Chain A
Amino acid sequence: MERVSIDEQRCKSCGLCISVCPVKILIISDRLNARGFRPAQCTDQDKCTSCGSCALVCPDVAIELYREVKA
């Protein structure tokens, strides 16, 4: 399941999340959203450390973060 969930319709392609991700798993995709922005995308969900940095800098509240835990 997704650890990094990016709402593509909210994303404005600002690149801030990409610049702060310590494990460099975020990139700008080559798709266009309804507003004409190329949304950010996560290339490797498994590598996400759940550090929270991307969500902290996102000005558009586009990113939600999850992590698996043993129930």
Chain B
Amino acid sequence: MAEQMKVIYERPKSWANKVTHYCPGCTHGVAHRLIAELVDEMGLMDKTIGVWPVGCSVLGYDYFNFDSVEAAHGRAPAMATGIKVTNPDNFVFAYQGDGDLASIGMAEIVHAAARGWPITVIFINNGNYGMTGGQMAPTTLLGQKTTTSPLGRTPQTNGFPIRVAEMLAQLDGPAYIARVSLDSPVNIRKAKSAMRKAFNAQVRGIGFSLVECLSTCPTNWRLTPVESMERVRKEVMPYFPLGEFKVVEGVL
């Protein structure tokens, strides 16, 4: 009997086969790959419109084979709303960093979630402003040193980190809200299944969905990629617990 090669893992079709500009080991790439895999698996490539943020993923649109637009800093949910309103049958997702979503764009994300209209947001929590050189973000942990909290974040001078997933889950609008982590194979598998539910919440017309991804920024954390993954487990997860914070009926 002849031997044949079975594919265990292949590059997704909606992935545009370019080398990304991300730093080595940056989990933006993992989140991107999961999006491409799901777009393929769910047959969404022809219907997808991605909305990209200002942040390290500003060039995200270059890496996929589906239609995309580039939003102003923090405004991706508003832009996605405008697209979804005119094209309700298309699949519209916004991809946002934590400075983008939880600082300058807080109003837009809260109201998109409150409206509850079926758009999907992939939210990258890497604890700092990666693109501008590692400044403090709304998600920076207490004690964490950044270029604008050089002695470590303190509540007195910098206030407290924001738990976006929990906060948005308080609203009646969202259909699905989860926090996942991209630190390990097992958690990346779980991240993908959460993202699948989030995509489904839109495809099935149920409502707004958001997946917060605990991510790394090895460059600005000044850690190796492997150490960065460990830091996510040891320091970030205790403050930002993983889980599903809102799952309305019909989301699967």
In the complex, the answer to whether B29 meets A52 with C-beta atoms within 8 Å is no
Q: Is A60 within 8 A of B19, CB to CB?
A: yes
A69 lies within 8 A of B6 (CB): yes
Interface flag for B10 (CB, 8 Å) = yes
Q: Is B38 an interface residue (CB 8 A)?
A: no
Nearest chain B CB to A66's CB is how many angstroms away? 4
CA–CA, A4 to B234, complex, Å? 31
Q: Which of B3, B28, B225 contacts A14 (CB 8 A)?
A: B225
Main SS at interface, chain A: loop
One of A13, A52, A61 near B33 (C-beta < 8 A): A61
**Interface status of B185 (Cβ within 8 A of chain A):** yes
* Complex Cα gap A58–B22 (Å): 12
Q: Which residues of A contact B224 (CB under 8 A)?
A: 15
Chain A 40-59 residues near chain B, CB threshold 8 A: 50-53, 55-59
- B147 touches A (CB below 8 Å): no
Whether the pair B9, A63 counts as a contact (CB closer than 8 A) is yes
Is chain B's binding surface mostly helix, strand, loop or mixed? mixed
Contact B188 A71 (CB under 8 A): no
- Kindly state whether residue B250 has any CB partner on chain A within 8 Å: no
Q: Are A66 and B185 in contact (CB under 8 A)?
A: no
Interface size on A, residues (CB 8 A): 33
The winner among B20, B24, B28, B218 for most chain A CB atoms within 10 A is: B24
A36 to chain B, nearest CB (A): 11
Contact partner, A60, options B4, B20, B184, Cβ 8 Å: B20
Min distance, Cβ B76 to any Cβ of chain A, angstroms: 21
How distant is A60 from chain B, measured CB to nearest CB, in Å?
6
With known contacts A13-B24, A14-B24, A59–B33 Cβ distance under 8 A: yes
B residues touching A (Cβ–Cβ < 8 Å)? 1-12, 15, 19-20, 22-30, 33, 36, 184-185, 188-189, 218, 224-226, 229
A binding-site residues for B, Cβ under 8 Å: 1, 3, 9-10, 12-16, 19-20, 35, 37, 50-53, 55-61, 63-71
